[in-house]
Amino acid sequence: MIRINAYDSCLQNLLSLLLKLCTLKPLIVIAFFKNHGFSEPQITILIRGRPRVLSSDVKNALFPKIELFKSKGVSSPDLAKILGNHPTILSRSLENHIIPTFNCLGNLLMSDEAVIKAIKRFPRIVTYDLDNYVLPSIDILRNYGVPESNIIKVLHSMSKILLKRSVEFKENLEKVREMGFNPMMM
């Protein structure tokens, strides 16, 4: 009987600790975003779009992602807009997705500044698998003879059109050609 009471006491202590942790983590996440220049409305938008962010590990998951964006020149207000509009960016792996995306875009656009401009125009590009969407579309444009400078302009200002499966992208490009437009003049 004594063991059961001791067990009940330990269980109550554990439940009490878990309750504190469950309520503390969201507060830590909110404080983290406030400390990085996010306003309360921006934090609210971010949490509405991705409620799971409240259970994120600030030190190992959120901080490195925020720091990467800031190290590339993204201001706090711009970062709040980007993440508020596309909070799924925070669920992507830093090592396996976000950094490779920055590197790929950097190789194509030739500078971090150009990458940031492209991301600010179309933040969702950070969530896409560029190997399966953007790069095949760029290869199709190259095969059609579109000059590299024009491809960079498309990627920089209208990257959304490149985010199609290659078959669909090629079909759309063929329709454009059939209408009498020259893809080389994009």
Parse the chain into domains and list their residue ranges. Answer: 1-124, 128-186
Q: Which fold does the domain 1-124 belong to in CATH?
A: Transcription termination factor 3, mitochondrial (1.25.70)
Q: Rounded to the nearest 10 degrees, how much is the dihedral formed by the CA atoms of 12, 17, 18, 20?
A: 130
DSSP output for 36-47: TT--HHHHHHHH
pLDDT one digit per residue (tens) for the chain, 186 residues: 444 455 566 666 666 665 555 668 888 999 999 999 899 999 999 999 999 999 999 999 999 999 999 999 999 999 999 998 899 999 999 999 999 999 999 999 999 999 999 999 999 999 999 998 899 999 999 998 899 999 998 888 888 888 888 889 889 888 988 898 876 665
Distance CA 66, CA 51 (A): 18
Distance CA 186, CA 183 (A): 5
Distance CA 56, CA 93 (A): 13
pTM of the model: 0.79
